[in-house]
Amino acid sequence: MRKAPVVLIASVTLVISGCGSADSTAPPPPAPMSTPASAAATPAESPAASAVNVVATTTMLGDVVGQILACAGGTVTVLMPAGTDPHDFSASSDQVAAMVTADLVVANGLGLEAGLTDAFENAAADGAKVFEVGPLVDPIKLGAGAHEEEGHEEEGHGHGSSDPHFWFDMNRMAVAAELIGAELADSTGNNAYATCAATTAANIRTAEAGVRSSLESVPADQRILVTDHEALGYLADTYGYEIAGTIIPSNTTLAEPSSADLAALVATIKAEGVPAIFANVAQTTSLAEAVAAETGTPITIIPLYVESLGAPDSPAATYLQMMQANADLIASGLKG
């Protein structure tokens, strides 16, 4: 079924970047946040609850944790500003210190935060509790959601054998919310965190219906994706899409495409009649544009919010908004 992911064109200078374009139908790229995000606290079951301090690595997890704490009490600090690529993010000494003093550090895991490995180890050695949710939500294997051809192996992904982008399956993110709430309830002795996490998870599952409606509005024979890197495997697996090719042949933006792979991707796009390349709003679109130009056919470059929420004034300011915005962009891009 699915062709093995391939990378970009022979005539392109191999500069690693994501996708975003003036021709795009997506909103403009978000500006990075200059300060960590925090969620407002509301009265909780115990006076100590308001003092609970959680550090979250990614903006998606930060938003979900913030919803839990806004209900049960406490504050969340998000390490990565909006628009940040989590694959190469490194923590400052102040951020490492914040992890050490936090009651809980919530991380994606599965190798997504490759640049934080040493920071996690140093913080844990100083007493921090790092809770990685990715390994606990039944992650899929690399390429499984993209229907990899048998025998294809990812190279240079740095993620081990599991795909870290689990937030593109909203049911898995709902489970993640429940796990975070249970962890906070266990560590604080306050069951309000589990109760509020259940509400947060229910809201995610309810919102998933709108995302499903948009994605399933695309005829089955048109559900073909070409992306900047292998980040949409969970989405493809959940909603019956095929990932025909990728610009960067990996689950991380840190890998590099070869000229041969880029040429193969161009051939795939022509053969499949793909109308759009889905890029990353936080990255440039130079490679995607070069691939599109090489095909000689009208190709729209559509940046998605892939590994970060958008700025507060964007259509992807929250996790639920991000998922719906992406679903709408994919549907409109493929239906024309």
Domain assignments of the chain as residue spans, ordered by start: 47-210, 219-335
Q: Is the pLDDT at 122 greater than 80, yes or no?
A: yes
Neighbouring C-beta atoms of residue 13, cutoff 10 Å: 7
* Poorest-pLDDT segment among 11-15, 77-81, 228-232, 250-254: 11-15
Q: What does pLDDT average to over the chain?
A: 83
- What is the mean predicted confidence (pLDDT) over 123-149? 85
Higher pLDDT, 19 or 1: 1
Give 251's pLDDT tier (boundaries 50, 70, 90): low
Q: By percentage, how much of the chain surpasses pLDDT 90?
A: 68
Q: How far apart are CA 294 and CA 312, in angstroms?
A: 36
**Burial class of residue 220 (count of CB atoms within 10 Å of its CB; 0-12, 13-18, 19+):** exposed
Closest alpha carbon to 146 in 4, 34, 284: 4
Whether 197 and 178 have beta carbons less than 8 Å apart is answered as: yes
In a 13 Å sphere around the CA of 71, the CA atoms on its Cβ side amount to: 21
For domain 219-335, give the fold: Rossmann fold (3.40.50)
Q: Find tokens 């870290």 and name the residue.
A: 164
Fold annotation for 47-210: Rossmann fold (3.40.50)
Q: What is the pLDDT of residues 218-246, one digit of tens each?
A: 999 999 999 987 899 999 999 999 999 98
Least trusted range by pLDDT, from 128-142, 241-255, 318-332:
241-255
- The predicted pLDDT at position 161 comes to 85
Region of residue 138 (left: phi > 0; alpha: psi -120 to 50; beta: else): left
Angle among Cα 299, 302, 305 to the nearest 5 degrees reads: 160
Q: How confident is residue 153, by pLDDT bands cut at 50, 70 and 90? A: very low
Order the strands of the 242-248 sheet from edge to edge.
Answer: 242-248, 224-229, 276-280, 300-304
How high is the pLDDT of residue 3?
Answer: 40
d(CA 227, CA 244): 9
State the Cα–Cα distance between residues 176 and 67, nearest whole angstrom.
13
Evaluate whether 47-210 and 219-335 have a shared fold.
Answer: yes
Vertex 277: Cα angle to 274 and 281 (nearest 5): 160
